[in-house]
Amino acid sequence: MNQIKQLVNGVLKGNRRSIAKTITLIENNPHEAQKAVSKLYPHTGKAHIIGITGPTGSGKSTLIEKLVKELRKKRKRVGIIAVDPSSPFTGGAFLGDRIRMQKLSTDKEVFIRSMATRNSPGGLARATRDAVKVLDASGKDVVIVETVGAGQSEVDIIKVAHTVVVVLAPGLGDDIQAIKAGMMEIGDIFVVNKADRENADEAVIDIETMLNMGSEKEKWRPPVIKTTATKDEGTAMLLNRINQHMKYLKKEVFDIQRRQKAETELIEAIKQKTTDSIIDELRRKGELEKLVQEILAKKTDPYSAADALLKERLKRFRTNG
């Protein structure tokens, strides 16, 4: 408990070691970390959280470095969380996003943390959301979350971020086609990076066309921007659009979005806590193992076993409801 208090106090003062240790605790021991996150919660809600997602190699990290350079000119304090997948086989991970952000690494007002998904279902680790809270509470004005948009993970980013930037690059061809459907839904801003390459304009037209097919009722029409991150071209414009999006949110939907986020988080917390406590109990009492054996012996199947187990436990809810 004392350790938790120390961490929390450190985070609130913006101490970098405390921030780092708290995020580690979140990753390794969510149960214990919850005490810290709860204490930090009242201090959150100030940061603008920006999700940067898109296919592997489209230039997300390079773009983030330039974006942060721009933010630093305006004296904004910035936190970055770069999420990469863990190997499903070994559990290890290669976290290489820092390679492109080295110029930021000794700026005391910029905190960068690489995170592996640790095979958490749903892609973007649950830990990410809590880590964002830590950075938010530590006094960062902007928190950027980089995720690879392949498979499921891009869907989670909208639960975390206020503004989602989808970064694509020309020449990804079929790749773009395949991911488009999912990405088109979640992007508030679209970037065609590597504009120094051929076919950047085609990619822009492509995206515009897809956006035009969307509903017209939406008040925010996602802008499409060309950037060349390596030459720092288009990044000021991108930041401009990001800020515009925040203004729009504040005017139109911020409270609805905040309410929605709070509800989603609460429901997820309830789900997690109920399943955890039920499964813990079943394990302790040996009931879980007994049923596993029965399933193996084909005396029952997992669904029937779950029904039988939960019947008694859920009775209360049914009769009340």
Partner 1 sequence: MSTKRKIRIVVAKPGLDSHDRGAKVIARAFRDAGMEVIYTGLWQTPEQIVETALQEDVDVVALSILSGAHMTLFPKITKLMKQKGLNDILVLGGGVIPDEDIPALKKIGIAEVFGPDTPTNTIIKFIKENTQKTK
Ligand X SMILES: Nc1nc2c(ncn2[C@@H]2O[C@H](COP(=O)(O)OP(=O)(O)OP(=O)(O)O)[C@@H](O)[C@H]2O)c(=O)[nH]1
Q: How far apart are CA 284 and CA 297, in angstroms?
A: 22
The gap between the terminal CA atoms of the chain, to the nearest Å, is: 38
Q: Which of 175, 196, 208, 268 binds ligand X (CB under 6 A)?
A: 196
Q: Which is nearer to Mg ion, 97 or 206 (CB)?
A: 97
Residues 24-83 that bind partner 1 (CB under 8 A): 24, 27-32
Distance CA 188, CA 242 (A): 9
CA gap 85, 92 in Å, rounded: 9
Q: Which is nearer to ligand X, 4 or 71 (CB)?
A: 71
Task: Establish how many alpha carbons lie within 13 A of residue 225's alpha carbon, considering only the half-sphere containing its beta carbon.
Answer: 25
State which of positions 87-126 bind partner 1 (CB under 8 A). 87, 90-96, 98-99, 102, 105-106, 111-114, 116, 118
Please report how close the Cβ of residue 4 comes to partner 1 at its closest, in angstroms: 15
Among residues 22, 61, 163, 228, the one that binds Mg ion under rule CB under 5 A: 61
SS3 (DSSP) at 212: helix
Among the residue ranges 52-60, 107-115, 125-133, 166-174, the one whose residues contact Mg ion (CB under 5 A): 52-60
For 183, residues 6+ apart whose C-beta sits below 8 A from its C-beta are 53, 54, 149, 154, 166, 168
Q: Which two tokens stand for residue 55?
A: 């296919």
Smallest separation (angstroms) from partner 1 to the CB of 216: 45
Q: Which parts of 100-119 interact with ligand X (CB under 6 A)?
A: 100
Q: Which residue, 2 or 90, has its beta carbon nearer to partner 1? A: 90
Choose among 80, 78, 82: nearest CA to 96: 82
Q: Would you say how long the chain is, in residues?
A: 321
Judged by beta carbon distances under 5 to 8 A according to partner kind, the member of ligand X, partner 1, Mg ion, none in contact with residue 92 is partner 1
Output the 3-class SS for 251-308: HHHHHHHHHHHHHHHHHHHHHHHHHHHHHHHHHHCCHHHHHHHHHHCCCCCHHHHHHH
Q: Which residues pair with 233 in a beta bridge?
A: 228
Residue 229 partner contact from Mg ion, partner 1, ligand X, none using kind-dependent CB cut-offs of 5 to 8 Å: ligand X
Q: CB-wise, 60 or 126, nearer to Mg ion?
A: 60
Give me the least distance between CB of 257 and partner 1, in Å please: 30
Q: Site residues (CB under 8 A) for partner 1? A: 16-17, 19-21, 23-24, 27-32, 86-87, 90-96, 98-99, 102, 105-106, 111-114, 116, 118, 276, 280
Q: Site residues (CB under 5 A) for Mg ion? A: 60-61, 97
Q: Site residues (CB under 6 A) for ligand X? A: 56-62, 97, 100, 148, 193-194, 196-197, 228-230
